[in-house]
């Protein structure tokens, strides 16, 4: 397991593009693949600049998996307690390296990091089509804690 930094963005970029293409293929009405490598790299840099941290797995020097998480802080308000949590923004394992335990190992490493910062919980979101990551989340003991629904309205394009 390796700690990744902004200097590793060129290595993360192909995996991020593959993750994004996975979303484009499943949800073409929601996602497009028109972004440039520069725009994708800028997005990654912004995540690192926003309390982001990343972990990766290298095989023979090549990055084959990465997990990027950010720390979220929400102040208490009139009806909710304050929250400090880790948010798993991206996780991706290259196809040929799946089923080797990389996703669960990166999640465990992320947990160790946030626990070291006194953060008691992490969250993540995923689309229903992504059963693989749902399985990884279940394998590490994560449970559904919020359900979001959506419905296109009739008559609006």
131 falls within a domain = yes
106 falls within a domain = yes
155 falls within a domain = no
pLDDT band, very low/low/confident/very high, at 103 (cuts 50, 70, 90): very high
25 falls within a domain = yes
The angle formed by the CA atoms of residues 24, 29 and 30, to the nearest 5 degrees, is 65
pLDDT band, very low/low/confident/very high, at 148 (cuts 50, 70, 90): confident
119 falls within a domain = yes
Number of domains in the chain: 1
The CATH number assigned to the domain holding 43 equals 3.40.630.30
d(CA 70, CA 51): 5
Q: Report, as an integer, the average pLDDT of 140-147.
A: 90
153 falls within a domain = no
For the chain, counts of helices (H) and of strands (E): 4, 5
pLDDT at 66: 97
Domain region containing 47: 2-139
**Range 52-56, long-range pairs (CB < 8 A, 24+ positions):** 52/89, 53/3, 53/110, 53/113, 54/3, 54/4, 54/5, 54/8, 54/12, 55/1, 55/2, 55/3, 55/4, 55/106, 55/109, 55/110, 55/113, 56/1, 56/2, 56/4, 56/8, 56/11, 56/12, 56/106
151 falls within a domain = no
In the chain, what percentage of residues exceed pLDDT 90?
Answer: 81
Residues 6+ apart with CB under 8 A from 39: none
- Helices (DSSP H) in 51-130: which residue ranges? 102-116
d(CA 122, CA 104): 14
48 falls within a domain = yes
């Amino acid at each position: 397991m390796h700690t990744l930094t902004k200097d590793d963005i060129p290595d993360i970029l192909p995996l991020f593009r593959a993750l994004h293409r996975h979303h484009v293929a499943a949800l073409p009405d929601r996602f497009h693949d028109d972004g440039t490598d520069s725009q994708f790299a800028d997005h990654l840099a912004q995540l690192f600049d926003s309390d982001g941290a990343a972990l990766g797995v290298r095989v023979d020097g090549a990055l084959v998996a990465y997990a990027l998480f950010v720390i979220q802080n929400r102040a208490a308000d009139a009806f909710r307690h304050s929250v400090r949590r880790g948010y798993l923004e991206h996780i991706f394992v290259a196809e040929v390296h799946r089923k080797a335990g990389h996703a669960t190992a990166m999640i465990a490493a992320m947990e160790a990091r946030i626990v070291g910062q006194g953060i008691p919980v992490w969250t993540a979101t995923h689309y229903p089509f992504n059963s693989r990551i749902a399985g990884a989340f279940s394998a590490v003991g994560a449970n559904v804690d919020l359900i979001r629904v959506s419905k296109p309205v009739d008559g609006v394009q």
